[in-house]
Amino acid sequence: MRPRHTVCLVLLAAAVALVGCSRKPPEPVKTPPPVVIVSNPVVQTVSDYEDFAGRTEAYKVVELKARVTGHLRNIFFKDGQDIEQGKPLFEIDDLTYRAQLAQAQAALVKADNRLKTATDTYAIVDEGFKGGTEGKEKYLAALGVKQEAEADVKSARAAVELASTNLRFCRVYAPFDGRLSRSMVDEENLVKADETLLTNIVRLDEIYATFDVDEQSVLRRRKLIDRGSVSSSRSEPLTIRIGQADDDDFPLTGLVVFSDNQLDSDTGTLRIRALVHNRRIKNSPVYMLSPGQFVRVRVPLGAPRTAVLVPEKAIGSDQGQRFVFVVNAQNTVERRNVIVGQQYGQNRVIETAPGDKTVTPSDRIIIEGLLRVRQGAEVNPKQFDTPKEKDKGKVEPKVERAEAPAPRERK
C-alpha cells in the first residue's frame, strides 16, 4: 500500500504544478509620464556688455595744512564729520598776528601823513619853480621826497594786506562740502606754516570709478568703432553702470571722462575713469559709495538688439555642450543644442542653435524637472505660472542717459 500511496502523491503534485504553469503572468502597471514645468522663451531688447572690476576714487580731495606758524588753539569738528563749505575747522593762536596787523596799520597811517606833507611841499616848490622863485635843485628834491612817500604808502599798504592775510589764515575753513578725516594734530601743539598737515577733506556727492580694460576688450571695441557700431567715448560720452560687491544689479550710472593715452606694458590694460553721481541714503554715512571701495563696472558693447532669452536654470550641459529640453506638440522631449550669450538677471541670451532647429518664442522649454527626462521621453507638461509684469525675470533695465559733467573750475 505504501508504494501505491507514494505514486499517488507524486502524480498529484505534478498535476498541481501543471495547473500553476498554465496561468498568465500579471501585466505591469503603466507608469504615468513625469510632470515637468515648461515656459516660453522671452523676446527682449538687450545691450551686449562686458564686466570689469574697479575701485572708487575721490572726485576732489584736499590736504588742509597750516598757512601760518603758531600754537593750535581750537578744533571745531569731530573726526569723520560731514561739513559744509565755509565752516571753521581749526583756530591757531592769533595774538602775534593781531599785533603785526596793528603795527602795519600804524605804519600805513605814518606813511599817509608823510605823503600828505611831501605832496603839499612839492606843490609849493613846483609853483615857485614855475614862477622863477625856486631853483631846479630844490624842485627835484621836493619831487623825490614826494615819490618816496608814495612808495612808502604802497609798501605800508602791502604790509597791512600781508598781516591781514596771516591773521585770516589763523582760522582754517572747509573749502567745499565734504567729509573730514581725523584731526592729525591735537590742541596746544605747535604747527608750522605749509608743513603741518591738519586733516584732509573729500568731496562725496560725486566720485570716480576707475577700472582697467584688457587689451582684447580694447581691440574689440575699437573694431566696433571702426565699423560705426558704437561711438568713441572721446567724441560722445559713454554711459556705464556701477554695482557694489553685494548688488545683484548695477543700480548706479556714470560717464566715462578719461581714458589713458597708452596701455600699461606690465599688465596689458588701459586705465579708464568714469564720473559717478554718488547716491544719497537716508541715514549715515549719507552716501552710497566711499573712495577706495571695490565696485563692479558694466560697459555696454554695440547698439541694443532683439534677442531670445531663456531661464538660466533651463540650460543643461553635456561635456561642455549647452542644451535645452523642448516639449513638442506630442508632449515628447526634444534636446536642442544651443550657444548661450550673456546673462540678464535670471535669463540667458540664446545666441545661435546649431543645426536646422532653433529656439523660438513659441517653444515650450522645460525649466523644472530636467533630471527626470531624456530625449524622446513622453512627459506631462505644466505651464509655468507667469508672474505679474513687475515680477518678471530681471532683464537689463533701461539706462537713462547721464548728463555730461560740468567742467571743473580752475583757481
What is the value of pTM for the model shown?
0.66
- At 396 the pLDDT is 45
CATH 2.40.420.20 fits 36-46+306-391, yes or no: yes
User: Spelled out in words, what is the top-level CATH class assigned to the domain 61-92+170-201?
Assistant: mainly beta
The sign one gets for the Cα dihedral 317, 320, 326, 332 is: negative
Q: Is the pLDDT reported for residue 195 higher than 80? A: yes
Q: Which of 40-44, 314-318, 325-329, 401-405 has the lowest mean pLDDT?
A: 401-405
| More confident: 206 or 246 | 206
DSSP string, 247-287: -SS--EEEEEEEE-SS-BTTTTEEEEEEEEEPPB-SSTT-B
- For residue 339, the surrounding DSSP H or E stretch is strand 339-344
- At 394 the pLDDT is 46
Here the cell at position 366 is 522645460
- At 220 the pLDDT is 85
β-pair type (269-277, 252-259):
antiparallel
- At 360 the pLDDT is 85
CA distance 396 to 347: 10
User: Domain spans of the chain?
Assistant: 36-46+306-391, 48-59+203-304, 61-92+170-201, 94-169
- At 170 the pLDDT is 95
DSSP string, 341-365: EEEETTEEEEEE-SSS----TT-EE
Q: Is the pLDDT reported for residue 126 higher than 90? A: no
pLDDT tens, residue by residue, 63-122: 999 999 999 999 999 999 999 999 999 999 999 999 999 999 999 999 999 999 999 988
3-class DSSP state of 408: coil
- At 12 the pLDDT is 63
b/e map of 248-284 (b: 16 or more CB within 10 Å)?
eebebbbbbeebeeebeeeeebbbbbbbbbbeeeeee
Q: Is the pLDDT reported for residue 300 higher than 50? A: yes
Average pLDDT over residues 265-289: 87
Q: Are 243 and 224 in contact (CB under 8 A)?
A: no
Q: Which of 33-37, 87-91, 136-140, 348-352 has the highest mean pLDDT?
A: 87-91
pLDDT tens, residue by residue, 352-377: 655 546 788 888 999 888 888 888 88
Q: Is the pLDDT reported for residue 397 higher than 90? A: no
pLDDT band for position 23 (50/70/90)? low
Please state whether the peptide bond connecting residue 34 to the residue before it is cis, i.e. omega within 30 degrees of 0: no
| CATH number of the structural domain 48-59+203-304 | 2.40.30.170
Q: Assign residue 211 a region: left if phi > 0, alpha if psi is -120 to 50, beta otherwise?
A: beta
pLDDT band for position 350 (50/70/90)? confident
Query: Taking the CB of residue 189, how many other CB atoms lie within 10 A of it?
Result: 10
Q: Work out the angle between the directed axes of helices 95-131 and 136-168 (0-180°, nearest 10).
A: 160
| CATH number of the structural domain 94-169 | 1.10.287
